[in-house]
Structure 1
Amino acid sequence: MPKNLLIIAILVVAAYFVGVQSAKNRGKNYEDLRHQVERLWTSPDAKRARKKLAKNAQKSLEKTRKSLVGN
């Protein structure tokens, strides 16, 4: 088992270094990534989805609380 974990860890580290080197070679601008994340966060569709998710989580929390506590 430890041998397998060591192999997986080596593969993960190697993949990380290959990815970093690849990004450096392409001249990837990390500012572009920040703008993409910002655009996705401020998207009206994303806002609606987050609001719906929060509403459903609140309902689920209330339902669970009522079932555990009673009334």
Structure 2
Amino acid sequence: MNICMFTNTYLPHVGGVARSVSSFAEDLQKRGLNVMIVAPTFPTDEAHVEDHNVLRVPAVQNFNGS
């Protein structure tokens, strides 16, 4: 089975969502499932470790002015 997870934050950023997505993906992979994570990359990001199961896409920051 193929699973694609979309998240607005992912490792190396620290936070509950990033860690939960990573842990969930690891557990699914241990069960033999194919997991792809689609996560943003930001211009200010330091070089992150390449992971063939993570697709980085440019982030579009859209704030409502508040």
State the TM-score, normalized to the length of structure 2: 0.30
The higher-RCO structure (CA 8 Å, 6+ apart) is 2
Which one has the bigger helix percentage?
Answer: 1
Larger radius of gyration: 1
| Structure with greater strand share of residues | 2
TM-score (structure 1 length as normaliser): 0.28
